[in-house]
Structure 1
Amino acid sequence: MFELSNRAQDYIQRTKAFIQNEIEPVETEFWHQVHALNIDGDWTKWQWPAELEILKDKAKKVGLWNMFLPDPVLGQGLSVQEYAHIAELSGRSLLAPIVFNCNAPDSGNMEVIWRYGTDAQKEQWLKPLLDGKIRSVFCMTEPAVASSDATNMQATAVVDGDEIVLNGRKWWSSGLGDPNAKIIIFMAHTPDANKDRHHQHSMVLVPVDTQGVTIERMLPVFGDYDAPHGHGEISFDNVRVPVANFIGGAGQGFEIAQGRLGPGRIHHCMRCIGAAEKALELMIDRGMSRTAFGKEILKLGGNLERVADARVAIDQARLLTLYAAYKMDTLGNMAALTEISAIKVVAPSVLEKVVDMAMQIHGGMGLSRDTPLTGFFAQARSLRLADGPDEVHKGMIAKLELKKRGYGSRKK
């Protein structure tokens, strides 16, 4: 079921070698530079170290670029399952996804424009995104409502002649602080009494510098602003863009969101698994190199059992995620709804638990920036909310299980 072609195996081996030879030797110093460049907290001055463009150029030249996109011309033509293995490798590093131009939210945004955008939208926005010349933002979550139910959305996108008028406030908009962020995908309510509630939302392309768009603030995660990428709060006050900026047409927002989030969840989950593998390696190396009470600390208490628990959990999560990817490739996203929701619950939780173990073994060092563990922990905890909280996905799984037994369509 999970057999890979020679071509896919070649990409995997080359990705692994690139990470080991080009990224890992410079990553620690790279993030030290990031923190030094952006230490004053003023997001308007955020910048990336020059080393990033050098690494991106190297990756592009050897064809390790846009590997998430299944298009054989614009991407590398890899299936969801094939790319999943590459996502796992890149997840071992906080830098690698950016270097390969396969990072969120850009990869999901590029896939949306690729699948649903017009030729003009692709020329204006997809091309520079694929070239890595600009970055993008995705605006869906809102501060004033329970965004776990997307139909609560209060932001509006209303047609007025040949323009769309946008109003509302969004937050946790990833990438908003990036100095190269140029385009926003804005999801909003487009009221239409003739349509059901899942066909009254739209996605709209909005240039960041459009009049009425105001970046209110950046939001810290556990006290870290994730500069120079950032997650921000943004307001839209009578913002006007052409009707041509609808993606896929008015009312298609939910359909597009499902198309965007399916592959994106595979990417997130496999990166979680890669991060968990890295955390386990760090845990073992640290635990076997430090002694206390006459023993390596990994041999104290129940630490060896924790290593075993981590191995079992990581392998279970990987198999479940690869199975979801296999079903998406062979049967389509709708046939894999249970598995997609399951991995979204399982993978971040596994990463959170493994990283917590690794942090405990590292002692005080585990709470510092001297290892990637705090970054991995923030990633894991955030992903238990991002793209739908655990409870929503568990509800979806339960609903599908009841439907199998004939209870899905019954009304009280």
Structure 2
Amino acid sequence: MNNVLDELQWRGLVSQTTDIEALREALENGPITYYCGFDPTAPSLHHGHLVQLVLLRHLQLAGHKPIALVGGATGLIGDPRMSGERVLNSREIVATWVDRLREQISRFLSFEGDNAATMVNNLDWHGSLSALDFLRDVGKHYRLGTMLAKDTVARRLASDEGISFTEFSYQILQGMDFLELNRRHGCTLQTGGNDQWGNLLSGVDLIRKADKKSVHALTTPLITKSDGTKFGKSEGGAVWLDPEMMSPYAFYQFWLNSADEDVIGWLKTFTFRTQEQIAELEQSLVEKPFLREAQRALAGDVTTLVHGERATEQAIAASAALFGKGEFSGLDVQTLDGVTAELPKAQVAVGGSIADALVESGLEKGKSAARRAISSGGVYVNNEKIADEDAVFTADQVLADKWVMIRRGKKNWAAGQVS
């Protein structure tokens, strides 16, 4: 059994551990069973969860056995946030989101072989627990002083809004999860983001007090940009893993646009490239940054990991077409929807004037200017130059029965939506 801890540390995936030498020994003498929990507080996982999924996969590839827990129970409660009390979602919504998260998580782990992954829902044990049993069997192991000292709890208590007993109790439920998985599956390690450190320790302490056993916790650091801004599509935005919430094209573009200062660290954290491969990309970044080989490797690897090879190929082809170096004709409707999502648009029809579309989309200010742009050779439809001022859209220009791509000059794009 190879020890994976050094690899995880090199990749920047280790922030806090309960006892790093004890964990190292456990991994060396493994395999061990480990788990991470994912609460259905939204219909999709995002970039923060992706760090945990990559960590789970690294550990499984090293021979250890993962448990992925989807919080059908804890998702009904909600982990306390600094920003204030959560709005509780209905049981029906949470159940739907549980199914969506299970499907997303399943793509990252192998459910076959000696160290096959297991998927669990904590509603299976929390749902049937009575209040009396909860207080007698679990509550007696918790001390209010320790619970009140948790960072998020302390800050919320000091706020005008305070904190409800519901959210205050969340740390007990997560501690119970670790205890239950230790009893059922021999699970001895829980992982999570470093904002979950207090909740992870809740389980470690509960197992020690209830069953007199020693277990481990490991957190990953918060992933940030080198300039200090939040990691996301925009300030406070999330990089969603669901293609309906963030298209594979937009997802690919996010990683492709990584800053030089960030890309090597993100290659370590989010991909499975070897140290030697990443070192080569780092050298390329220094010597030939204009090639953006590191960014293209990062975008390709992470998009393939999340959305598959086909979606990645489509995203790459779309990127090339937008630079005038490829064709749009081979792109599927999902990719075209992603490409056009943030472009100015015009409603067009087969037989409709291209000059009018230039004006409606905002690529030109008036009909005369649009006609001059066409006659001067500066207008393209699907990367094909248009020469006739009176040209109209034709049926063979319509992409996926929905779009035409209009370009003014080298870089100014608009999308014509065919009605």
| Short-chain TM bin | under 0.3
Which of the pair has more CA radius of gyration?
Answer: 2
Q: Give the TM-score of the pair, scaled to structure 1.
A: 0.26
